[in-house]
Structure formats: C-alpha cells, structure tokens
Structure 1
Amino acid sequence: MADVEEMLDQAREMPYGEARSILLEQALKAAAHDRELAFEVRLELTEAYQYGAEPAKSFATFSRSVAEYDADPGRWSDWHTYSLLWQFKWIASDMRRFPEIPLQRAYDALEEMERRYTQAGYGSHAIHTQRTYVAEHIGDRAAADEWFHRWQTTPRDDMSDCEGCDPSGKVWHLAWMGRDEEAIELAAPVVAGHLTCHVQPQGILSNLLLPYVRTGRLEAAAAAHLRAYRLVQGDANYVDDFGDHMEFCALTGNETRGLEILQRELPLLDRSPTPSDRMHFAGCAALLLRRLEDLGHGGLTVRRDGSDVPLDRLRAELESDARDLAARFDARNGTGEQTRRLEARLAAEPLVEHLPLTPHARRVAIPVTQPVAPPPPPAPPSCSTWPRRPGGAATSTPPSPRGSVTTPSAARRTGGARTRSGWRPSWKASRRRPCGCGSARPSCTGRRATRCGGRSRSAGSACSPRTWLWWRRPTGGCSRTATRAGAAARCPAWPRPTRGPAGPRKRSPRSRARRRARCCHCWPSCRSTSPSRWRRPARPGRR
C-alpha cells in the first residue's frame, strides 16, 4: 500500500486534468483490497473529475462512496464525512446540467442532501443555494426570488461555498432578474481581490460583463473581459465562460476579438464538461457569427477539425446544436425557459456601437480577400494654354514639382536676361521647346531636331519629362540644402555610371555639370562643381 500512498501524494501535486485523473484511477485499482484506502482514493478521484472537466464520470465514483459510507457510518473519520457531504453540492448541481437525468432525481438529491446536512449538524445555507439554481434553470422567477431571499438571510456555515464563490452565484441571479446595480455592488469585494479562490475572480468577472455595459461602466467592462479571459484561456472547465466573453464581444462592437476567441476555443466545444455548457457556448458563438454576417463578413471561414468551414455553415451547425439541446432541457423540465433564453440571445442587438478594450484601441475591420483591379496608368501632364508673344495675355505654364531652372548658357544663346534670382530665357527659347505633356505647338512642327533624353527627335514629337527645359523659374529655385545624394535620388537626369568591359564609364567634371544643369532639381546644389561662368549671383546672407 506504500505505492498507493505515493501515487496519492504525487497526484495531489499535479494540476487538475486528464493526467491527474488517470493516475488516481491507477491508484484506485491498486487499492482495491484496502477498503479505507480505496474510499479515500475514490473521494480524490471524484474531486479530480469535477475540476478536470469530466463531471459525468463523478456520478459513478460518488455513488460508490455513498454506498461505502452508508454500509458502516461509524467507521469513517470526520474528514471523510465532511468530504462526502461537500461533494453532495457538486452532484446536485450537475444533475440539472444533463438533460438525460430526470428533474425529479435532482429534487430527490436535494432532499437527501438536506437530510444528511441536518443529521450532521449543518445549516441549510447551501441547500437554499442549490434550490435557487434549480428554480433559475426552469425559469420560475417567483420561486427563484423566494429561495434567493432565504439564501441571503440564512447564516453561513461550514458547508457554504467559499466567500469568493458564494457572491458569484448571487451576482448571476441579480443580473438575471435585471438588478444590475445590486449585482455590481455585491461583487465589489471579490473584484477588488479581497475574497478570492482558485476559480475567482474570473468567474464573477464573467458574470459582470453585461451588467457593466448596461450600466454604462464601459471601462470596467473592458477591464473585466481582459482580466477574466486571460485567466481562463484554453481551460476546458470554462467553456461556459467562453460563451459569456463571445457574447460580450458581439454586443460591444468587438466582433474581431470574439472571432479570435471562437477560433482558439472551438476545439474545446467537443470536450464541454456538460451539455448545458455546450449549449451556452454554441448559442453565444452563433450570435457572434450572425453579427459578423450583418457586418458583411459572411465569406470568412473558421478552422474546425482540420478544415476551413464557411461562416454561414458553422453558424447553422451551432444554432442547430444549441436549439436541440435547449429543446431537450425544456422537454425534461416541462418549461420553455431554455429555448426562450436561446432565441433572445440569438436575436440580441449590440448594446454599444464600439467599446474600446484598451485606451488606444480602434475598431478593426476584418480583411476580406477580394480581387483588386490593376490601377489605371497615370495620365501624362498636360498644359491647358501656351505662352504667347510678349504683350499678349498672361498664360499659365506647366507646373514644376520643385521649381524650374534655366541654364545660363541656354539663356545667353537665346538672348535671355540676367536677373538677381538667375537667368530668364527669352521668348525665342521658349518657342523652340516642346511641351512636357507630349503634345507640340503647331509652330514647332517641322523645326530642327532637338536633343531629348539622349535621342534625336523632331520638335513636334513627345518630349521626355526628364529633359524639360522650363521657360520660367519661380523665385527661390531648388532647395539650397539639397545634397548630392538627395539630388541623385530625385533627379532622373543625374548621371549614373554604367559598367562595361573596362569598368564604370567616367565623365569629365564639365560633362557632369552640363548634364546636371538640365534638371530643375539639382543644379543649385551642384554649383560647387559647375564652371565658373555658370555661377549664380550670391543671395543675401550667403557666404
């Protein structure tokens, strides 16, 4: 039996889950010939099933423990008695969560639980708690309110839920009755961290999500959602709570966040602890998917069982599953409460347009992959009018992106004048240059060929934008702070070396200066390498 004791100690150090349950099952098999040790292992195994998301298995172990206890009550210690009576609450609560179990058996279990508690000297505080839950489940508001009043007025005892869990059930009841302010006030000590346990405050925060929103406490609602979901994420024991969080996201404009939760927790739906939890999860997920369809995202898919399921098909499956379970519960209970709740949830509308979960959060639009048409080709620049001879009406000229520059040599060749801001070409020079928009003046047709982009073209042909020689230069010209690298980055006429058999082609300083002078962007910044006869007059304050 030393091996069994060692296995028990090892299991108690493990977290709740399948591994702990399997180890206890092995210990129970090894302790089959020791009655007292097997009873103790069975109690541990019932607890492991309850907190390991396998409550259906706990019915068998609990029934066997009750039979062993009743066979010889005086043989067991006070700890054994206390543990067995405490587990009565788990079993009585789980009976209403399985539609296969008749409702009358749940009432009978409560009667048996009350009788045993009275014999052991305990009060009825826990009894009133469980009766309140049953009345809420079948939709009897009058009975639920009566049992809730007794629950609140009966003194607590050793069989009462812990001080962190007991307010959680009361908060759910008050929210169900529409008394949100009372629910928030009652939950304050648990939310503040004064009363907690290993299932709190995440449980009570999930119950407070919608009461916070309905009372306008939006920041508290966002904080409760983030804090609670962080604690329960990926835990199969909280499938019911995942539904609360998806419903919260669907009703507060956080459909993107809700879709992330659904995709992450959807595999746990098939491992739901009880059918009641599965029904709640499926109903809230269907609400979320409906909201996504209403927003125009019906073409999305959700990954499930190794395949991508269209959103509309998944919604139909979840709605059907939830409705089937609700109908089974109502048939067992003889009421229509579960179906009424489900239909009200599926038809719910948002409580607020958008509730930011963080101070800097924005509503994220879910991207939908759609074919994008190629952008149309950019239209060439055009000029509406042409410059006229001196004395005529003023005309507009094609705009330069960063100002215009006319080289001094070109201005002198055409009779231009020297001004304080630079050289201004004459009308003769402007007439000989084709327009940068690709069209040509009629008067230019038939004139001699001009150098355009390194190729010989007629004056009437299209002119490359990089070789425009503007006839007017705005005051200021190019930026004085331009650098050689910056000019090369934005100047298409900047000389770029080409590699050949003998390496990069080199240009003489004079050739580079002339080539740079053709561009309207870089000539002022290249003044230091230009011939001396091209130097511009110094501006005031420039050295």
Structure 2
Amino acid sequence: MNYLEDLETAWQMRDDDPARIKVLEQAILGADMYNDIPNGIEARDMLIDTCLYVGFPKKQLQAFSWLVKKFEEDCLDVDGFDLLWKYKWIAEHVPMFDEVSKAQIDALLNDMKVKFEQRGYSLRPYYKVSTLGAMRMGDRAKAVAYFEQWQKAKSDYMNDCGACETNDVVHYHYFMEDYEQALKKAAPIVTGKQSCAEVPHLTYGFTVIAYYKTGDLEMAQQCFDKGYPLVEKKSSLIPPMASMIQYLNLSGQHEKAKEVIAINKETALASESGLDKLLFLQAAFPFFDAEVDKDLVQLTEELTAKFDARNENSYYSERLAK
C-alpha cells in the first residue's frame, strides 16, 4: 500500500511545491484502488490546496467534484466547512475555462448558493465570486449588481481574509476603469498594512496600470519593480504578469517587455486556464511578428473568439483592439 507512503511524503512537502501534485495523484490512485475513502478525501484536499498555489485549476476542479459527490452522498469523512471554503476557490476559477458554458457556470454558482444557505452561512462569498465571475466574463451590468449585493451582505466565518477582500474590491474598481477608486481601496495593501499569500502579488497587477492611467508614473514604476519579481514564471499569477507586460508597453519600455514575454511565455502557454493564457497573449500581442509568431497570433485570436462566444459579448475582442 505505497499510496500511504505517498500521502506521508506529501505531508512533508510544501503546499506550493509543484512536485507535490504528482505524489498526491499517486496517493489518490492508490486510495481509490483500495476504496480507501478517508485517505482519498485527504489526498484530494491536499491536492486542491497545492493546485491553488501552483496553478492547475483543472486538476483542482476534478478533485473538488469528487469531494462534492461524496458530500452529497452524506459521507461523514468530508468536512462540510472545508468543502464550502474551497467552493469559493472553485466557483471563482470556473469561468476561466472557455469550454465551460454559461449555463454550467450558473448551475455551479447556484449550487454553491444553495449549499451555503443550507448550512446557514452568509451569501457574501457567493455574491463576491459571482461578481468576479461576471468580470471575467466581461459582463459589466452583472458585475455591478453582484458587487452591490456583495458589499451589503454580512460577513461571517466564510469570509476571506482582509487582504483578499481588499484586493478583490480593487479588482472590481479596476475592471470598471475607476482607477482613482481602485488606488484608494488599494492603499492598505500598497502601504504594507495588508498582505497574504497572493497579496500584494495580485494587487500590483491592478495598481501598476491604475497609477499609469492616473498619471503617477513614479508609483507605476515602483509597482512594477516590486510586483514583477513576485509573479515571474508563476503559473498561478499569470494575470498580474500580463498586466506587467501591458504596463511596459504603455510606458514605452518595449525591450523590457520583450524580455518579460520571453521569460514567461513557456509558463503562460502551459497554463490549464484558457483565460490566463489569453490575458498573457493579449498583453504580448503588440510584440508578435505576423510571420515569426503566426501561431501565437492565431492562438490569441482563437481564444479571444472562444471566450467572446461563450460569454455572448465582445469584451475580449474589444480588449484586444485597444
């Protein structure tokens, strides 16, 4: 029963160690072979955590779907609180796959809402991930409506940490192109008063553009200088990486932009997230050569069309044309 040894090995590895994924997948195979439900649950819980840090959302979704099935079968080994906590991560990332339809996304969000209500938790996390989902799908009207409900809903034990909450509010105002408000809300993060595992990493992706757009070029450069090293070659942090490239293009630092693209291209193209890949490609698009990079040009245009078709709008086409 080597899978138990794999599980023990995984416990001794860091959550953000990419090598941990293979070890946990081996543990899951072994646990399933022996119908060892408790250890199968434990291995999948750990896999979901690691995938969050190293950027394998499809593997995360597969593991989570199995846990939800066991939960709905009233398996007592599934921790209900932990499952619903992870539901926030899953629901937030599902819109990043173009192959997942709007109907499937809506169904997943509704299931999250029902499960939170059944357990008596606040719907604040539901409204937040719905806001983020609408933003990723380029739906401004829905984003506004959900944001209002998110801000009105009460907080409870299911609320994210203060730094994550602040970052997501910054993200909303950035999406709405209200850069002044985004910077105002980002102040606790920029000044170092709030931080967590992925903050300020994510936040710098918003502030680097917001400062540039509002004319504070010195602060924009500071955000790049501090933020880029945090996201370089990090598969779970491709969106802020893309923003760094966008900033370099806007500020005329074209040679540096080409350098950043070259360093991070392999990481971005290997991403399981179609949207992460698209954000990187769109940021790099102005630097593609029509002949030399024709495959990347084609991939950018194909992904843009796929996400717009799924989202039933032209958000990403308009974004590419800017």
What TM-score, normalized by structure 1, do the two folds share?
0.56
Amino acid at match of 2:304: A
Unmatched segments (≥5 aa) in structure 1? 291-310, 345-543
Q: Given the alignment, which residue of 291, 316, 328 partners 2:306?
A: 328
Could you say which residue in structure 2 is the equivalent of 1:194?
193
Aligned partners of 1:6 and 1:280: how far apart in 2? 36
Could you say which residue in structure 1 is the equivalent of 2:67?
65
Aligned partners of 1:109 and 1:329: how far apart in 2? 18
Amino acid at match of 1:269: A
Does the Cα contact within 8 Å between 2:204 and 2:240 map onto a contact in 1? no
Aligned partners of 1:43 and 1:118: how far apart in 2? 23
Equivalent residue pairs, number: 320
- Which protein shows a greater Rg? 1
- Quote the RMSD (CA, aligned, Å): 2.1
Amino acid at match of 1:142: A
1:141 is aligned to 2:140: yes
Identity across aligned pairs (percent)?
27
Q: What is the SS of the residue equivalent to 2:193?
A: coil
Amino acid at match of 2:68: V
Could you say which residue in structure 2 is the equivalent of 1:97?
96
Unmatched segments (≥5 aa) in structure 2? none
Could you say which residue in structure 2 is the equivalent of 1:215?
214
Does the Cα contact within 8 Å between 1:237 and 1:273 map onto a contact in 2? no
Could you say which residue in structure 1 is the equivalent of 2:238?
239
1:22 is aligned to 2:22: yes
Matches within 5 A, 1:36-47: 36-47=38-49
Matches within 5 A, 1:358-373: none
CA distances 1:39-96 after superposition (whole Å, capped 9, x unpaired): 12111122223322211122221111111122125x236xx21221112122222221
Could you say which residue in structure 1 is the equivalent of 2:130?
131
Could you say which residue in structure 1 is the equivalent of 2:4?
4
Aligned partners of 2:45 and 2:219: how far apart in 1? 40
1:113 is aligned to 2:112: yes
Q: What is the SS of the residue equivalent to 1:160?
A: coil
Does the Cα contact within 8 Å between 1:283 and 1:318 map onto a contact in 2? no
Aligned partners of 2:5 and 2:191: how far apart in 1? 40
Does the Cα contact within 8 Å between 1:209 and 1:221 map onto a contact in 2? yes
* 1:37 CA displacement: 2.0
Aligned partners of 2:64 and 2:247: how far apart in 1? 36
* 1:161 CA displacement: 2.2
**Structure 1 residues 155 and 44 mapped into 2: Cα distance closer, same or farther (>3 Å)?**
same
Could you say which residue in structure 1 is the equivalent of 2:150?
151
Could you say which residue in structure 2 is the equivalent of 1:169?
168
Does the Cα contact within 8 Å between 1:137 and 1:337 map onto a contact in 2? no
Aligned partners of 1:147 and 1:60: how far apart in 2? 27
Does the Cα contact within 8 Å between 1:56 and 1:273 map onto a contact in 2? yes
* 1:228 CA displacement: 0.8
Does the Cα contact within 8 Å between 2:224 and 2:244 map onto a contact in 1? yes
Matches within 5 A, 1:505-524: none
> Which structure's relative contact order is higher, taking Cα pairs within 8 Å and 6+ residues apart?
2
Aligned partners of 1:326 and 1:2: how far apart in 2? 45
Higher helix proportion (structure 1 or 2): 2
Aligned partners of 1:48 and 1:279: how far apart in 2? 23
**Structure 1 residues 2 and 187 mapped into 2: Cα distance closer, same or farther (>3 Å)?**
same
* 1:316 CA displacement: 3.9
Does the Cα contact within 8 Å between 1:31 and 1:37 map onto a contact in 2? yes
**Structure 1 residues 184 and 120 mapped into 2: Cα distance closer, same or farther (>3 Å)?**
same
Could you say which residue in structure 2 is the equivalent of 1:425?
none
CA distances 1:212-252 after superposition (whole Å, capped 9, x unpaired): 01112211111111111111212222222221111100000
**Structure 1 residues 12 and 173 mapped into 2: Cα distance closer, same or farther (>3 Å)?**
farther
Q: Given the alignment, which residue of 329, 340, 343 partners 2:318?
A: 340
**Structure 1 residues 223 and 55 mapped into 2: Cα distance closer, same or farther (>3 Å)?**
same
Matches within 5 A, 1:308-327: 311-327=289-305
Does the Cα contact within 8 Å between 1:225 and 1:245 map onto a contact in 2? yes
Could you say which residue in structure 2 is the equivalent of 1:395?
none
* 1:270 CA displacement: 2.4
* 1:189 CA displacement: 0.7
Aligned partners of 1:17 and 1:47: how far apart in 2? 11
Amino acid at match of 1:197: C
CA distances 1:506-537 after superposition (whole Å, capped 9, x unpaired): xxxxxxxxxxxxxxxxxxxxxxxxxxxxxxxx
CA distances 1:114-164 after superposition (whole Å, capped 9, x unpaired): 111111121011111111123223333222112112222222222222211
Q: Given the alignment, which residue of 55, 58, 72 partners 2:57?
A: 55
Higher strand proportion (structure 1 or 2): 1
Aligned partners of 1:140 and 1:61: how far apart in 2? 29
What TM-score, normalized by structure 2, do the two folds share?
0.92
